[in-house]
Structure formats: C-alpha cells, structure tokens
C-alpha cells in the first residue's frame, strides 16, 4: 500500500515525464528562430553587392568649412508651405506660401553637434547623452558613420544637404540648441599651433 506521504513527495515532473494524456502530433510548423536565421543567410552582403560603404550615395554627407573662430549666431527656421493644406471636406486651412516657425509649436529636447570626422573625439567629450552627433563630409579614407558609431558605441548621423540648408550651416564644429523660438548656433573655432590642432572648449 502506497502511503499518502509517498504520493505527496513524488515530484510532479517525474509523473509528467511518464504520462501522456490525449493524442499527440509532431509539430508541423518550422521553428521561428530557424526561419529568421535562414532568411538572414540568404540576404546578399551589401558590401559585395554595392562596394565599400564609403562609395554609397546614401552615405555621402554635406560638406562644411572649418570654423576658424568662435562665433554665435541665431536662426529662426521658418517653413514655407509648398502646397495648400485642406481639411477632409476640402475647406482651405493654410494656403500655399504660408510661413510659420515650427519652434513655436515644438521643442528640440537635445542639441545637435555637427563636426567633421577628424573632430569626433572632441564631439564625444562635449556631447551630452541625449545630444545628436552629425558628421559633415570628411577627408578621403575617413571611416563612415556606421563604422564610427560601432567603434564608439554611440549612434552617428550624417549631415544631409537639406539640413545644412535649413539651418544655414557653413562651418563646423558647431553646436545647435534651441532657445525659445529660435536656434542658437555656436561655432567653435580651431587654433592651428605648430602644426597641431587644438579645439577651444565648447559650452556644455
């Protein structure tokens, strides 16, 4: 006779391992992880297909000059509508040509720090955790934004031509921050001394 204590002490995993309740069928669907891994292996290598990333048109950054002196200026990024904005029923809400300042409605929570690749160490020292680092076009042989981001463990962004034009950028390094309904652009000058470049301390 099996005692109650012996039944209670029996691990449920042992009972489950030796018992089958109802009919069973093998799993017909493929393993999801195996499917993902298989699809990933079939994706062509981008470098093989399109050449080195440095030659991709999508990896081309806008060019900027070098800031030779400290300078601060302000920009109001007015936007002009290039088409009419209408309500669903057709009523005109804003006409083409209407101008407004987006900063009157939204806030830029982080600064934008624009540098050439050679000044990236300075940008990494200067940037706050939430700041965006944008790379202007560098010299031939400079690492691309993806490689630099992987190397430093921080996302890097390319400076696009439309952003350059929108903000009126001409030189780098420059720190862009919102103050009220305008953007303050702080250009940080570079001092050439005995062939060695020294960067002025930027505001934090």
pLDDT in tens, 29-45: 767 777 776 666 665 55
Q: CB of 190 within 8 A of CB of 69?
A: no
Question: What is the overall mean pLDDT for the chain?
Answer: 78
| Cα distance between the two ends of the chain | 81
| Residue from 67, 80, 97, 92 nearest 169 by CA | 67
pLDDT in tens, 56-76: 555 688 899 999 899 999 999
Angle, alpha carbons 94-99-104 (nearest 5°): 100
Distance CA 162, CA 99 (A): 18
* CATH number corresponding to 54-77+103-199: 3.40.30
pLDDT in tens, 166-179: 899 999 999 999 99
């Amino acid at each position: 006779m099996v005692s109650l204590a012996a039944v209670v002490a029996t691990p449920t995993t042992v009972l489950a391992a030796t018992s089958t309740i109802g009919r069973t069928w093998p799993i017909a669907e493929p393993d999801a992880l195996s499917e993902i891994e298989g699809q990933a292996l079939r994706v062509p290598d981008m470098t093989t297909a399109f050449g080195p990333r440095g030659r991709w048109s999508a990896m081309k950054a806008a060019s900027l000059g070098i800031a030779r002196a400290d300078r601060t200026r302000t920009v109001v990024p007015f936007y002009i509508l290039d088409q009419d904005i209408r309500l669903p029923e057709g009523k005109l809400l804003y006409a083409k040509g209407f101008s407004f300042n987006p900063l009157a409605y939204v806030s830029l929570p982080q600064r934008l720090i624009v540098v050439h690749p050679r000044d990236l160490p300075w940008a990494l020292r200067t940037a706050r955790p939430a700041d965006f680092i944008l790379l202007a076009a560098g010299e031939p042989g400079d690492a691309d934004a993806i490689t630099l981001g992987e190397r430093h463990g921080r996302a890097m962004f390319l400076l696009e031509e439309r952003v350059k034009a929108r903000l009126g950028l001409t030189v780098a390094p420059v720190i862009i921050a919102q103050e009220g309904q305008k953007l303050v652009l702080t250009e940080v000058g570079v001092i050439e001394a005995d062939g060695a470049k020294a960067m002025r301390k930027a505001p934090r």
